[in-house]
Structure 1
């Protein structure tokens, strides 16, 4: 009997302990998570409302920059916004525009037509060459637009400057009506000046373009700069210094720097080392460093002479014989000092 009661007592104690353990475990079980509907996470873009897109007769425009101009970034659209229209879907601009963007238009290239007004219009609108703008020589206040700035015009052809090639892809071209040049009996090129009215038009047009697209001074160029072995336009009579001085357009050297380099060149026997391959190579390297697409050969080859001639058209128009004399050399050094590749 006593043994039976002992067994029953042990059973009661075991049951009691088990119950306590179970209750303790139950007390610490984690609660089942309740699934809540997802709420939209606010992004920084949503917290800061963006300027509105303008809608004019069903055409959308965005004319406010929300990006960082110090990085040459820009979100402004100077034309209508072009969007895809995928079948069965709707393209929305809920998050338009992203700030990580800039303009395709990075260069401004100046040309002359080598034709009179009427033929310039015909060739540039009906044949396989074009330009975004044509500046006539009729004395009026009109400038002809021939190609949308957002489209490629066929004005630069095979071309290069610094690290860029095929500049039709990223440039705006301005053609100026001008007869170009004729050659005299010695083969010297004789160019035709530009009228004052044309220069004023070009300056106003160029100022507008470089300001809107933030085009740097180093990217305002002649056709002869980007294709020196085959082009001469706009030639030595185009007033690059006037554009620089009066309109803050394009590049020009500092006179004090140029004089310093000139004094250095003339203090040594410049003419003696002229045909030294080392000097030729260093000169070709300096031209290449400035931006010209030129191979370093160590010889005064035809490509080098034409490149020097193109350089002189732009920066030393008083003498464009294609010879790297002390003054041309000094100007080149001064320009490389002022406009290094970044």
Structure 2
């Protein structure tokens, strides 16, 4: 019996030791993975070579555009480059210019002075009103510059167009010598014409400005467009269509579109004119085009003056401030062509 127990115990011990050896051999040991670091290719940001800044008598200029013109961006400096001069430090133009920039000058606004030539010069240079340029009525070939294009002139006052306000900040102003209007016995405004020489000067000047600053047609405006409740200039005798046709400056509607819209417009005016819903629709159309008007559903004074401003610019044959069928068709044609 003892011998049997001994044999069983010895066998268990041998089996147990053998098992321990096997377990030891098969114990999992994670492999140490030796990975080679990935080779990182260093990509240095290499600036494209930029045109040089020109220096004339110690004054610096940069006259080449390296920005994206399709986004209305432009790095050209039409005047000298203005730089800071911090005490104890040197401002360098090693990386000048950055391509992400554009012009401050987004609008071109046209005015008349309601003063003769000599008085126009005096007021626009010596008082708290100004413009970048003044076009005289002397029949010569001179245009007076009064304010640097890079600076704000005080010509627009309280003003708005589409989403922009206070257009002095973003515009160039041209004043034209003209006596404005007188009122007849009925109160109707009688405007003074512009001379051919003045119109040619304005056209050449405007063409130069809108080309250099890439000012879109929708931003070439009358003072009456941006302040319709306060201003009438340059009035219905200023030849906007001539500027559009002969110089490709500013806006004008397509005649075919206006004619297509005229039949429906006549129906609207004859059947819906005094309906608040139609008045609201007309006011919304004025607002959509760009005028600063809040739809009210009433033919109020603000609406009348805004319609008058539209007529000064686009329907000079009749500027009574009443939304007749032709004015309504013209407004819709303008929105078809120029709305955002």
TM-score (norm 2): 0.87
Mapping of residues 242-281 of structure 1, within 5 Å: 242-266=242-266, 268=267, 270-281=269-280
Q: Are 1:331 and 2:333 counterparts?
A: no
Q: Are 1:236 and 2:219 counterparts?
A: no
Tell me what 1:84 maps to.
84
Q: Secondary structure at the match of 1:92?
A: coil
d(CA) in 2 for partners of 1:219, 1:265: 27
d(CA) in 1 for partners of 2:253, 2:268: 24
The 3 A distance-change label for structure 1 pair 44 and 229 is same
1:265 positional shift = 1.8
Tell me what 2:131 maps to.
131
The 3 A distance-change label for structure 1 pair 269 and 51 is closer
d(CA) in 1 for partners of 2:44, 2:215: 36
Mapping of residues 104-183 of structure 1, within 5 Å: 104-183=104-183
Q: Are 1:44 and 2:43 counterparts?
A: no
Mapping of residues 91-110 of structure 1, within 5 Å: 91-110=91-110
| Number of equivalences | 301
Tell me what 2:11 maps to.
none
Deviations 1:279-310 (A, max 9, x none): 00000000000000001111000000000000
Q: Are 1:227 and 2:227 counterparts?
A: yes
1:42 positional shift = 4.0
d(CA) in 1 for partners of 2:112, 2:170: 20
1:272 positional shift = 2.7
d(CA) in 2 for partners of 1:208, 1:269: 42
1:186 positional shift = 0.8
Tell me what 2:311 maps to.
312
The 3 A distance-change label for structure 1 pair 298 and 333 is same
1:107 positional shift = 0.1
d(CA) in 1 for partners of 2:268, 2:69: 47
d(CA) in 2 for partners of 1:161, 1:44: 42
1:43 positional shift = 2.2
| Runs of at least 5 residues in structure 2 that lack an aligned partner in the other structure | 1-33, 37-41
1:270 positional shift = 2.3
d(CA) in 1 for partners of 2:68, 2:244: 26
1:246 positional shift = 0.2
Q: Which 4+ runs in 1 deviate beyond 3 A?
A: none
1:264 positional shift = 1.8
1:44 positional shift = 2.9
1:269 positional shift = 5.3
Q: Secondary structure at the match of 2:317?
A: coil
d(CA) in 1 for partners of 2:294, 2:333: 21
Q: Secondary structure at the match of 2:271?
A: coil
d(CA) in 2 for partners of 1:269, 1:54: 61
Tell me what 1:4 maps to.
none
The 3 A distance-change label for structure 1 pair 65 and 105 is same
RMSD: 1.3
d(CA) in 2 for partners of 1:264, 1:228: 27
Deviations 1:214-261 (A, max 9, x none): 000000000000000000000000000000000000000000000011
Tell me what 1:5 maps to.
none
Give the greater-gyration-radius structure (CA): 2
Q: Secondary structure at the match of 1:332?
A: helix
d(CA) in 2 for partners of 1:122, 1:237: 25
